[in-house]
Chains A and B, each alone.
Chain A
């Protein structure tokens, strides 16, 4: 799934996220969730490679060379000489079971942000951990749902993006498993229920209310 929405507007939003990632124009939270989605899905990865190809071909075919300053090449070569072998990537470890096998991009992100990995109770059966983000429009949480937990009625911003990290959940529209990205708009009413064996851990990015700045 992930690439086919019954709702045409949501399909457009989904495509906008993938393209926006390739072009480098998403905010931090959106970039993170798309990166994790791409990492979990070879099919989406090949699509992303195609969009990135477009960026590469613009550089190759449309960008008339502009000379760098005279010392540029020497300066880069000097830095190459001076560089030490880069240290191996730190392994992210000791993640609790709900976060096992999450994409490395997300694990290293949590590590870099020095996330406390502290869960807050949301409502019965649900815990959430906010990921600190440097963006005004979006916020990101990891949501952990117990087996069979059902989300109560809730409201959210204009667009909510959910990426299933572990386990699965279902709602009236379908069954979503690890790696699936699901978009919901504010007028989309549903009652998601976590899978009965494994529960569900997901990354969720939601837009903050759109505040007119009056500029």
Chain B
């Protein structure tokens, strides 16, 4: 099944669900072929050398296989879910420590059960796409810092040191950018 925003690309959410439910290797290989080269690219943008990025991309995909059972397409886009695994691999590898990671998908609702729940029916990959488009509308100074944080694996302080922008300004620009993006998000009602 293809969605309006995915064009002629395969439905990654369906592939990932298939890996989770049926341990289907064909689906996994399709996911691997799509995501592993992008994860490698993501890690290289942050300065990882090619061999390390290659290895981490492989490890990320291995983790995707093992954890796919916990994936729920109603809660996250495949790209988002795989991103969190890649992010944690990067923390593990580059900071030489174990990532303190929570599986958002696996979390039980502990309390506040009456709080508004995320828009479960929203097609999550459409949501992700909307957000990405919103990033494109931000003032350059905000979008650049947000990208830098994701790609470069640098703390706010390190970003400030590197760019010469005061720490407080780095934080407030990112905050302003995120607030603008939230306003454009299709699930903005969650935040009001």
Contacts and interface: CB of A to CB of B under 8 A. Distances in A.
Contacts of A31: 91, 99-100
Contact of A20 (B32, B131, B149): B149
Interface string B85-122: 01110110001111111101001011111011110000
A73 B30 CA distance: 11
Given A24-B91, A54-B181, A12 B149 contact: no
A10 to B, nearest CB: 11
A35 interface: yes
B57 A68 contact: yes
B149 A53 contact: no
A60 to B, nearest CB: 4
B18 interface: no
Interface stretch (A78-86, A122-130, A187-195): A78-86
B153 interface: yes
Contacts of B191: 47
B178 A51 contact: yes
A42 B120 CA distance: 13
Given A38-B104, A52-B104, A54-B132, A59 B65 contact: no
Nearest to A64: B41
B28 to A, nearest CB: 8
Nearest to A18: B178
A42 B32 contact: no
A16 B159 CA distance: 13
A53 B175 contact: no
Contacts of A83: 66
A72 B87 contact: no
A208 interface: no
Given A23-B149, A40-B110, A59-B35, A53 B77 contact: yes
A47 B127 CA distance: 13
A60 B79 contact: yes
B79 A25 contact: no
Chain B residues touching A, majority SS: helix
Contacts of B174: 15-16, 19
A38 B44 CA distance: 29
Contact of B76 (A27, A49, A68, A112): A49
Most chain A CB within a 10 A radius of its CB, from B33, B110, B115: B110
A87 to B, nearest CB: 12
A68 B57 CA distance: 8
Given A42-B117, A47-B191, A57 B155 contact: no
Nearest to B75: A49
A54 B110 contact: no
Given A56-B80, A76-B32, A35 B101 contact: yes
Contact of B82 (A23, A59, A86): A59
Contact of A24 (B66, B87, B129, B178): B87
A112 B65 contact: no
A150 B45 CA distance: 49
B98 to A, nearest CB: 7
Interface string A176-201: 00110000000000000000000000
A56 B77 contact: yes
B32 A55 contact: no
10 contacts: A41-B112, A49-B80, A50-B131, A55-B150, A56-B84, A63-B42, A66-B44, A73-B33, A80-B62, A178-B111
Interface of B: 25, 28-29, 32-33, 35-42, 44-45, 50, 53-54, 57-58, 61-62, 65-66, 75-84, 86-88, 90-91, 95-102, 104, 107, 109-113, 115-118, 124, 127-129, 131-132, 135, 146-147, 149-151, 153-157, 168, 171-172, 174-175, 178, 181-182, 185, 187, 190-191
